[in-house]
Structure 1
Amino acid sequence: MKIIYQIAIIFSICWVSQVVEALLPFAFPASVIGMILLFLLLATGVLRMEHIREKSDFLLSNMAFFFIPAGVSVMNYFDVLKSSLIPLVLICLVTTVITFAATAYSIKLTVYLMNRRKRNHG
């Protein structure tokens, strides 16, 4: 029963994000809306991590499976993408470096703030 409850929570968040996307007067991905909604629910304490831990761990451990349709689509449209191959590879390389840098600085900031909080409270 616990797994069904966790699946219901995750699918409910996905459904609400789809509804919000349909109601918005501009294009915005439902997946991003869902992540923002999940973050807000977790940050405010309305939803606790224990409510979705097992199912989210399962989904994260099997994440590569969910990239198969996107990979197949890229292969199906390779003839279309071939004309823009160099700009696409360049964009992928640049955004990868930016993502690595943003992640590294986020972790550095988080460690700094945690150490500062520990010194002030401990």
Structure 2
Amino acid sequence: MEILRQIGVILGVCLAGVLLSSFLPLPVPANVLGIVLLFALLCLRIVKPSHIEKTGDFLLRNMSFFFIPASVGIMEYYAVVKDHLVLLLLICAITAVLTFAVTAYTVTAIIRLQERRKKKGE
């Protein structure tokens, strides 16, 4: 029953993102609004991590499964993409490296902040 409640919370936030997207005159995708909304709810402690933890962990462990439809879609348009395949692969490689670098920098910065807070508390 707990899993169903967690799925309900996540789907409810997704639905709220869809509703926000339809009412706001901004060109922001509904899924991005849903993620921002979930982040805000977590920051405000309206939703606690324990409310979505098990389902969130399951979704993260199986994230590669969700990329299959996009990959199949790209393969269906291979004739359109084939002329630009090298450029697309180069862009993918560069953005992957940039993502790794930004993630590493962010994690390092957060660890330093946590260590500073820990030293202030002592």
Matched, 1:12 2:12: yes
- Identity, % of aligned positions: 43
* Cα RMSD after superposing both structures: 1.1
Matched, 1:64 2:68: no
In 2, the alpha carbon distance for the partners of 1:13 and 1:88 equals 33
Q: Which runs of 5+ in 1 are unaligned?
A: none
In 2, the alpha carbon distance for the partners of 1:4 and 1:103 equals 32
Amino acid at match of 2:60: L
> What corresponds to 1:78 in structure 2?
78
In 1, the alpha carbon distance for the partners of 2:75 and 2:53 equals 34
Q: Which runs of 5+ in 2 are unaligned?
A: none
Deviation at 1:14, TM superposition (A): 0.6
For normalisation by structure 2, the TM-score amounts to 0.94
Q: 1:18-57, CA deviations, whole angstroms, 9 ceiling, x for partnerless residues?
A: 1111122232111111111111101110000111111111
> Number of paired residues?
122
Q: Which ranges of 4 or more aligned residues in structure 1 deviate by more than 6 Å?
A: none
For normalisation by structure 1, the TM-score amounts to 0.94
- Aligned pairs for 1:14-93 (under 5 A) are 14-93=14-93
